[in-house]
């Protein structure tokens, strides 16, 4: 080979080693088109990696196919097995499961008969995921055990971290929450410390964020979405294919935290950034945007967002059902939730089912189906365990049912739920729970506590921009104010009386309330008649005696 050819090959391999994927793609692509520069099997694998990172998915698959053929021609079963596994992974992402299954079978053909080698870790990972999907917990743990042993034997930090993540997923699927999360923390330490290659770091962030939200571990989700986005911004000089996926997870977290403007903007960016082999992340972002729009009363926009999610293959529930409820279509809402609950399985994680059950409770109560609401709330309570986010959802649902069945028992349940929402710093659900708590307080005869909860709920909704809820809270607060006025006074008459009791003349009252003196005199006549008094001093004494001043 001539010196320029050797130089180009060295520069390309150096770019790959630095994970400068845009530069590597340009150099390898140019070499591949040059008649005098035949790429080795490893070079073809690197070209496939660089094309994938650069968003050229078809070129990535084409180069990987050539790499596999080259490894086979060279009699390199390990190289061929790894290339076959990558083809399985890429075809699965592109929505071609039959082709993906064929390449996984071929990877097994290349690797199964060999002595233990690092490439077999990927087969063990596939075995673990398949076992988890069919609910075979022992088989999943056995597969992750093989994966860990192979990773330790190889000395690869990448494979070791991935094996811990896989074991974490298997444990969480069996309900062994503490063990699973401890392993996940250990795996994430390696990612956050920068000990892993780019693709493994991206995998771990995406998988961990999914696991945290599915397991309703909101604290970890908040922490890791932040660090994941920091990594996405810092890693690589061009597009990072993990950025859109991580951003889609961030949208859901921001929505719960009440940062709705940022959540909607991040949803738009995520849908632009998500690669075509991760469209489920874009669907999740559309759902999260729809939830924000629905809560703000932008129902037409919410309907479009949910439709986009549905188009991408995601059932946009419970958001769509709650939209139908807001549109006055309670029967459609109930039907949608029944279908979603029937279609869901354990793979979706406890949070997804908990949200469906919470919405089912709300919709059932709206149509007067108290027994159905109680059943949904009871299932939610059994599901929640001691997980704070699930416990808060269950408490709010149980309190809502208690309001319908036994109002006197509702307040303690709702206060515990409110405390959890406040500690989790989830403002919209906290304000919703305050609305229910206000009704419970009123049923118990504590009007003052009810007014306080309504005022806090109104302020919370207004701060979020949840206009319909804010107006409802304000209306209930106004009604509560009217109910508590003594002597049958109207709100305006009470304002006039307060000013009079404070020493204001008719002219002063008129100026303060921007009304005419004639109107002030008419209000005073009505006040005197309702209170059975004939002088300002007597009306003033009444105002002080009844707490109007």
Over the stretch 246-285, which tens digit does the pLDDT of each residue have? 999 999 999 999 999 999 999 999 988 887 778 888 999 9
Q: What is the pLDDT of residue 3?
A: 47
Does 308 have pLDDT greater than 50? Answer: yes
CB atoms within 10 A of CB 507: 10
Whole-angstrom Cα distance, residue 72 to residue 446?
79
- Three-state SS at 96: coil
- The model's confidence at residue 442, banded by pLDDT at 50, 70 and 90, is confident
pLDDT of residue 80: 97
- Separation between Cα atoms, residue 64 and residue 56, nearest integer Å: 12
Q: Which ranges of 279-318 does DSSP label H, i.e. alpha helix?
A: 279-295, 299-311
pLDDT, mean over the chain: 91
Instruction: Read off φ and ψ for residue 11, nearest 5 degrees.
Output: -65, -40
Q: Which residue has the higher pLDDT, 378 or 443?
A: 378
Could you report the per-residue pLDDT of 89-130, keeping only the tens digit for each? Answer: 999 988 899 999 999 999 999 999 899 999 999 999 999 999
Does the predicted model carry a pTM greater than 0.75? Answer: yes
pLDDT at res. 482? 63
- Phi, psi dihedrals of residue 350, rounded to the nearest 5°: -70, -30
pLDDT exceeds 60 at position 237: no
- The C-alpha atoms of residue 45 and residue 123 are separated, in whole angstroms, by 19
Counting beta carbons within 10 angstroms of the beta carbon of residue 410, is it exposed (0 to 12), middle (13 to 18) or buried (19 or more)? buried
Tens digit of each residue's pLDDT (9 = 90 or more) over 470-525: 999 999 888 776 666 788 888 788 889 989 998 899 999 988 888 888 999 999 99
Give, in order, the Cα–Cα distances in Å from 484 to each of 103, 459, 547.
73, 21, 11
pLDDT more than 70, % of the chain: 97
């Amino acid at each position: 080979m001539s010196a320029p050819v050797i130089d180009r090959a060295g520069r390309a391999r150096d770019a790959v080693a630095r994970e400068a994927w845009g530069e590597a793609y340009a150099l390898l692509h140019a070499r591949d088109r040059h008649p005098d520069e035949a790429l080795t099997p490893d070079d073809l694998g690197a070209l496939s990696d660089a094309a994938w990172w650069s968003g050229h998915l078809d070129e990535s698959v084409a180069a990987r196919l050539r790499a596999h053929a080259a490894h086979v021609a060279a009699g390199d079963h390990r190289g061929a097995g790894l290339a076959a596994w990558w083809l399985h992974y890429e075809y699965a992402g592109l929505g071609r499961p039959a082709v993906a299954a064929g390449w996984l079978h071929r990877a097994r053909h290349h690797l199964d008969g060999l002595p233990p080698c690092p490439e077999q870790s990927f087969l063990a990972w596939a075995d673990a995921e398949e076992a988890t999907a069919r609910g075979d917990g022992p088989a999943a743990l056995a597969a992750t055990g093989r994966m860990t042993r192979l990773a330790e034997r190889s000395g690869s930090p990448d494979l070791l971290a991935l094996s811990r993540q896989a074991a974490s997923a298997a444990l969480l699927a069996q309900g062994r929450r503490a063990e699973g999360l401890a392993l996940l923390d250990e795996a994430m330490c390696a990612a956050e410390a920068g000990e892993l290659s780019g693709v493994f770091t991206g995998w771990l962030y995406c998988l961990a964020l999914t696991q945290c939200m599915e397991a309703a571990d909101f604290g970890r989700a908040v922490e890791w979405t932040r660090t994941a986005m920091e990594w996405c911004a810092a890693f690589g000089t061009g597009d990072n294919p993990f950025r859109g996926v991580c951003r889609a997870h961030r949208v859901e977290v921001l929505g719960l935290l009440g940062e709705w403007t940022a959540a909607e903007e991040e949803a738009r960016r995520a849908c632009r950034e998500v690669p075509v082999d991760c469209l489920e992340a874009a669907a999740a972002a559309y759902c999260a945007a729809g939830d924000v729009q629905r809560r703000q009363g932008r129902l037409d926009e919410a309907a479009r967002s949910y439709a986009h999610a549905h188009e991408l293959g995601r059932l946009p529930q419970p958001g769509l059902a709650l939209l139908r409820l807001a549109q006055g279509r309670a029967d459609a809402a109930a039907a949608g939730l029944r279908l979603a609950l029937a279609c869901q399985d354990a793979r979706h994680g406890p949070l997804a089912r908990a949200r469906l059950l919470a919405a089912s409770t709300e919709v059932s109560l709206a149509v007067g189906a108290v027994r159905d609401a109680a059943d949904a709330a009871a299932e939610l309570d059994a599901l929640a365990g001691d997980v704070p986010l699930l416990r808060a959802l269950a408490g709010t649902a149980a309190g809502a049912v208690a309001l319908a069945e036994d109002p006197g028992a509702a307040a303690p349940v709702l206060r515990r739920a409110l405390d959890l929402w406040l500690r989790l710093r989830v403002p919209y659900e906290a304000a919703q729970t305050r609305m229910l708590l206000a009704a419970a307080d009123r049923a118990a005869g504590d009007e003052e506590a009810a007014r306080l909860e309504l005022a806090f709920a109104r302020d919370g909704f207004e701060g979020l921009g949840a206009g319909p809820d804010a107006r409802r809270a304000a209306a209930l607060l106004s009604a509560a104010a009217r109910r508590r006025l003594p002597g049958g006074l109207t709100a305006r008459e009470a304002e006039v009386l307060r000013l009079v009791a404070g020493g204001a003349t008719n002219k002063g009252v008129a100026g303060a309330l921007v009304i005419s003196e004639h109107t002030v005199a008419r209000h005073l006549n009505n006040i005197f008649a309702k209170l059975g008094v004939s002088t300002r001093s007597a009306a003033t004494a009444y105002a002080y005696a009844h707490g109007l001043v």
